[in-house]
């Protein structure tokens, strides 16, 4: 299956300004390896890409010039080994940090070579911290749970914190509060839980996905906040067809008492600002029975909606390089292959 993508033009009445028009060009590279599920990618200066395959707990380097993929290290607790891989982020130039959020451990890379383990005191791997992005200097942005990362049955905090962690991992600044993801283990369950999440551009701009209303706020590198306007969207009524569509995709909720909202929300928990190379954020929209494709809003640094990227339902954006966007496509066998497309 070949990925098709397009940046849709929005009418000025919807976007409050003329949206830019662009079409994503055809894929300019792919690799032969099939991944379980790509959780994170990090482009190196030589064009190779470090790939975290979360479910397989493996780390790879992909060469799009040759199509080859090689495994980096192996799972374990010895030198050059790791227990799991949740996210791979820059820690400056071609240095990277790989964190296993479930086990609160991590390793450091120089290029594609493991060179050490994160210190036990490193804030990037502490309990209750979820990394969401890094810039070219190695600063990382994260969500820190106000309840210290306790189990989901613990008291729900009023808000989490968005923090900026230094490349050394030993210092942080609190930037803002963020609404947390509500508990989903108590009935009746709201299946469309929403949460506020940050992202960090290569040049140090922070984007924050807000949900009341749905918008994106920006923080400049010198600390100035830019509040985005409400992003327009057409509400979809919660019909019986929508309920069936959701439950077919979430069989684990079968038999649970569900508290259905009146309309399908624009975004759900798990939606993150994915930072582009040209200073924008893309955010995946909630799928519905009427709109099954993977749709991403493109938000500029004024907080305005520039357009929408549309992919087939089995394709998703997993990251950006300097002039590329990386797309993971599910195969007929259920694994994923990784493709590269030019961006913008």
- In angstroms, the first-to-last Cα distance of the chain is 22
- Mean pLDDT, range 262-266, rounded to an integer: 93
One domain for residues 316 and 186: yes
57 within a domain of the structure (yes/no) = yes
pLDDT score recorded for residue 262: 93
Both 332 and 208 in one domain: the answer is yes
At residue 286, the pLDDT reads 93
* pLDDT(150) > 70: no
C-alpha 105, offset from chain centre: 20
pLDDT at 51: 97
Per-residue model confidence (pLDDT) at position 9? 41
In the sheet that 315-320 helps form, which strands lie side by side, from edge to edge?
Answer: 29-30, 336-342, 324-330, 315-320
Confidence of residue 100 (pLDDT cuts 50, 70, 90): confident
Looking at the fold, whether 187 and 288 belong to one and the same domain comes out as: yes
pLDDT in tens, 166-194: 999 999 999 999 988 766 567 788 888 88
Q: If pLDDT is split at 50, 70 and 90, which confidence band does 333 have?
A: very high
* Burial of 89: CB neighbours in 10 Å, binned 0-12, 13-18, 19+: buried
Let me know the angle formed at the C-alpha of 209 by 88 and 293, rounded to the nearest 5 degrees: 80
Let me know whether 210 and 322 are in one domain: yes
Longest dimension (CA), the chain: 59
- Does one domain contain both 219 and 247? yes
* 18 and 84 housed in the same domain: no
Residue 156: the pLDDT is 58
* 249/316 same-domain check: yes
Contact call for residues 279 and 271 (beta carbons, < 8 A):
no
Q: Note whether residue 139 is domain-resident.
A: no
Question: Is residue 192 located within the same domain as residue 335?
Answer: yes
Among the candidates 87, 118, 149, a domain finishes at 118
| In-domain check, residue 1 | no
Residue 243 confidence (pLDDT) above 70 = yes
Secondary structure (DSSP) of 173-199: EEEEEEPPPPP-SSSSB-TT----EEE
Question: Which residues are bridge partners to 325 per DSSP?
Answer: 320, 341
Closest CA to 100 of 66, 77, 134, 67: 77
| pLDDT confidence band for 157 (50 / 70 / 90) | low
Contacts 24+ apart (CB under 8 A), 74-80: 80/114
User: 267: number of CA atoms within 13 Å, CB side?
Assistant: 26
Among 98, 118, 138, identify where a domain stops: 118
On whether both 65 and 209 belong to a single domain, the answer is no
Q: What is the pLDDT of residue 247?
A: 93
Cα 344 from Cα 341, distance rounded (Å): 9
Question: Do 103 and 240 sit in the same domain of this protein?
Answer: no
Last residue of some domain: 118, 142, 157?
A: 118
Range of the domain at 217: 6-30+181-342
The total of structural domains in the chain comes to: 2
Confidence of residue 16 (pLDDT cuts 50, 70, 90): very low
Q: What CATH code is carried by the domain that includes residue 70?
A: 2.40.10.500
Query: Is 168 part of any domain?
Result: no
Token couple for 30: 């792919």
Measured from the Cβ of residue 294, the count of other Cβ atoms closer than 10 Å reads: 20
Residue 110 lies in a domain: yes
Which structure tokens are listed for 113? 């070579």
Mean pLDDT confidence for 79-99: 90
Is 40 part of any domain? yes
Do 243 and 113 sit in the same domain of this protein? no
Most confident of 93-102, 202-211, 288-297: 202-211
b (16+ CB within 10 A) / e for 24-42: beebebbbebebebbbbbb
Question: If pLDDT is split at 50, 70 and 90, which confidence band does 5 have?
Answer: very low
Considering the domain architecture, whether residues 41 and 23 belong to the same structural domain is answered as: no
Q: How confident is the model at residue 1 (pLDDT cuts 50, 70, 90)?
A: very low
Q: Which band of pLDDT confidence, cut at 50, 70 and 90, is reported for residue 272?
A: very high
- Residue-averaged pLDDT of the chain: 87
Confirm whether 276 is domain-assigned.
yes
d(CA 321, CA 219) in angstroms, rounded, equals: 21
* 237 in a structural domain: yes
Pairing relationship of beta strands 81-82 and 74-75 according to DSSP bridges: parallel
Segment 48-65, tens digit of pLDDT: 999 999 999 999 999 999
């Amino acid at each position: 299956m070949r990925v098709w993508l397009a940046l849709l033009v929005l009418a000025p009445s919807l976007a409050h300004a003329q949206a830019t028009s662009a079409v994503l060009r055809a894929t300019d590279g792919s690799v032969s390896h099939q991944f379980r599920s790509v959780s994170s990618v990090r482009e190196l200066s030589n064009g190779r890409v470090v790939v975290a395959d979360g479910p397989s707990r493996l780390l790879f380097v992909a060469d799009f010039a040759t199509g080859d993929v090689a495994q980096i290290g192996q799972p374990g607790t010895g030198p050059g080994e790791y227990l799991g891989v949740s996210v791979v982020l820059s820690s400056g130039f071609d240095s990277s940090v790989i964190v296993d959020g479930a086990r609160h451990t991590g390793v450091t890379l120089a290029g594609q070579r493991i060179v050490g383990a994160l210190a036990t005191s490193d804030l990037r791997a502490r309990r209750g911290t979820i990394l969401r992005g890094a810039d070219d200097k190695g600063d990382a942005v994260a969500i820190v749970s106000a309840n210290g990362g306790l189990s989901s049955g613990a008291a729900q905090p009023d808000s989490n914190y968005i923090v900026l962690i230094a490349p050394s991992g030993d210092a942080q600044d609190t930037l803002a509060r963020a609404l947390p993801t509500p508990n989903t283990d108590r009935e009746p369950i709201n299946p469309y839980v929403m949460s506020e999440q940050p992202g960090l551009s290569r040049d140090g701009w922070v984007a924050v996905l807000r949900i009341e209303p749905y918008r994106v706020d920006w923080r400049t590198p010198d600390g100035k906040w830019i509040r985005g306007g409400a992003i327009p969207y057409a509400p979809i009524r919660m019909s019986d067809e929508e309920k069936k569509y959701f439950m077919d995709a979430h069989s684990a909720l079968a038999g649970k008492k569900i508290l259905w909202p009146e309309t399908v929300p624009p975004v759900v928990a798990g939606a993150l600002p994915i930072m582009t190379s040209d200073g924008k954020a893309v955010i995946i929209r909630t799928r519905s029975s009427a709109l099954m494709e993977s749709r991403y809003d493109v938000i500029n640094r004024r907080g305005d909606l520039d357009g929408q990227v549309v992919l087939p339902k089995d394709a998703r954006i997993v990251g950006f390089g300097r002039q590329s966007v990386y797309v993971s496509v599910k195969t007929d066998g259920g694994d994923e292959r990784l493709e590269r497309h030019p961006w913008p």
